[in-house]
Structure 1
Amino acid sequence: MASSEESDSSREAAGFFVEQSIVVSAARHCGHAFQWVQVMSDDKAISAAKRPRARKRRFYEMGPDFNGGRPGFWVADESVLPPHRVYRLPASTPPVPYMFDKSDGSLPYDLEVCFRWWLVSDRTKAVFERVDPEAFVFVRCDVRVPQGRYHGPDYWLCDVVRVLDALDETESCLRIGVRDDVRYIDHGQKYYGFIPGYKLVFREAAIGNAHIFRMAYDEATVICDQEFKDACKSAGLRRIRFRDPSKSRY
């Protein structure tokens, strides 16, 4: 017969192993629980990864689409225009006399170049004002023809007067310098120069709700967003060029 000490030792040993078994079992159970939580976390991570991200706005260089043909229209009296060194078109400019002569070349489409500004049709003006009315100044054109009176749609001199410093210079590829040529109006000031294969990336926070603007330090370049481009396309406006400047081209 086993002594009480042996029984106690056996019980203690049994108890020890039972306790150890419980600990091990609990550890294994916690291990499974931990793995299950990890799997759930991974599933949630995968699910989160599949969620659509906020789409970045797309921007385009915008301007007349030159076809190389001879234009049959011109400003008949340039004296009404602002001086050469005034880049932006004053809203107080009087109606601009324009000659349309199809015998001399093609008549204007919806958007044509006119010095530092644009010559736009009446329907182009309507689209521009609907999408971003605060970005423009329009001056009516007094259209004339060689014989008789003009009976076509109205045309306007148009200027994009909003200028934004919105370029992300660290992500873009272009020349950035200070103008040292005294012949330029921006002599001594910062400027952007486009090199072969240039790329432009913009800071959306600096653009805000604007749909079209001129670039600071290169005001000859007009930038619009996808909504503005879509509005022009939907209206069927002709002879307007859009180029994605975020894609470098060599």
Structure 2
Amino acid sequence: MNDERAVSIAKRSRARKRRYYEMGPDYSVGGRPGYWLEDESILPPYEVFRLPASTAPASFVFDKSKGSLPYDLEPYYGWWLISDRTKAVLEGLDPEAFVFVPCHVRVPQGSYHGPDYWLCDVVRVLDALDESQSRLIIRIEDNPRSLDFGKKVYLALPGSKRVFTEAAIGKAHIFRMAHAEADVICDQDMKDACKAAGLKRIRFKDVSKP
């Protein structure tokens, strides 16, 4: 194999290698939220963690006198409260990864005329971490009060690096990490789609960098 062909193959290999990001709400914005769920009894118990597709439509109150109104992606319990345009991006790129529950929005006075909102959960979980190439804490949970008691858990502290196995991810663009399900990982395509749509208050952290 000559040098030019080797360089060409190496470039194609690097081009195919995907970059991955931890995706979630931008907590740096801060401020008190001016929205809340009227009836939290519709939510599954804490032990369930994932949001069932059968969850009844959620009734929210939006009141800007109490705090900031939601943008495109906000935290709500272990899930996201997302705008209609965020749903269009997520669902359009990777429809099998999510559960969406419609929200009915009420305002204290008058009628609500803003965008539709949805409770969203990333329900795909992949055991895709290359432990030998990653740098993070891997341990067995020893807290009896934890839902993960006795199970393997990953802890990505500052300075951590996560490397994933492409074969385990396949064509997926977004997933939760097995052994660290609070962490949502997306690829470059998902990040680019969110940026192209102008979605606000979404944070992307490159997991390959400390």
Which TM-score band applies after superposition, normalised by the shorter structure?
over 0.9
Residues 38-187 of structure 1 mapped to structure 2, 5 A cutoff? 45-51=2-8, 52-54=11-13, 55=15, 56-66=17-27, 67-187=29-149
Distance apart, 1:71 and its partner CA: 1.1
Distance apart, 1:53 and its partner CA: 2.6
Distance apart, 1:49 and its partner CA: 2.9
Separation in structure 2 between the aligned mates of residue 105 and residue 128 of structure 1, nearest angstrom:
27
Structure 1 window deviating more from structure 2 (146-155 vs 197-206): it is 146-155
Residues 179-198 of structure 1 mapped to structure 2, 5 A cutoff? 179-198=141-160
Paired letter, 2:7: K
The structure in which a higher percent of residues are helix is: 1
Distance apart, 1:144 and its partner CA: 1.0
The number of residues matched between the two structures is: 205
Q: CA offsets per residue over residues 209-249 of structure 1, 9 Å max, x none?
A: 0000000000000000001111101111111000101011x
Q: Name the TM-score, length of structure 1 as normaliser.
A: 0.80
Equivalent residue for 2:201?
Answer: 239
Equivalent residue for 1:27?
Answer: none
Computing the radius of gyration from Cα coordinates, the structure with the larger value is 1
Paired letter, 1:151: H
Paired letter, 1:49: A
Distance apart, 1:195 and its partner CA: 2.5
Secondary structure in 1 matching 2:100: strand
Paired letter, 2:191: K
Separation in structure 1 between the aligned mates of residue 105 and residue 139 of structure 2, nearest angstrom:
42
Distance apart, 1:148 and its partner CA: 2.1
Separation in structure 1 between the aligned mates of residue 183 and residue 22 of structure 2, nearest angstrom:
7
The structure in which a higher percent of residues are strand is: 2
Distance apart, 1:84 and its partner CA: 1.3
Secondary structure in 2 matching 1:188: coil
Separation in structure 2 between the aligned mates of residue 147 and residue 82 of structure 1, nearest angstrom:
30
Q: CA offsets per residue over residues 166-210 of structure 1, 9 Å max, x none?
A: 000001111101111111111111111123311101101100000
Separation in structure 1 between the aligned mates of residue 143 and residue 205 of structure 2, nearest angstrom:
30
Secondary structure in 1 matching 2:2: helix
Q: Name the TM-score, length of structure 2 as normaliser.
A: 0.95
Structure 2 gap ranges (5+): none
Secondary structure in 2 matching 1:191: strand
Paired letter, 2:153: Y
Moved over 4 A (4+): none
Amino-acid identity (%): 67
Separation in structure 1 between the aligned mates of residue 157 and residue 41 of structure 2, nearest angstrom:
35
Separation in structure 1 between the aligned mates of residue 195 and residue 68 of structure 2, nearest angstrom:
22
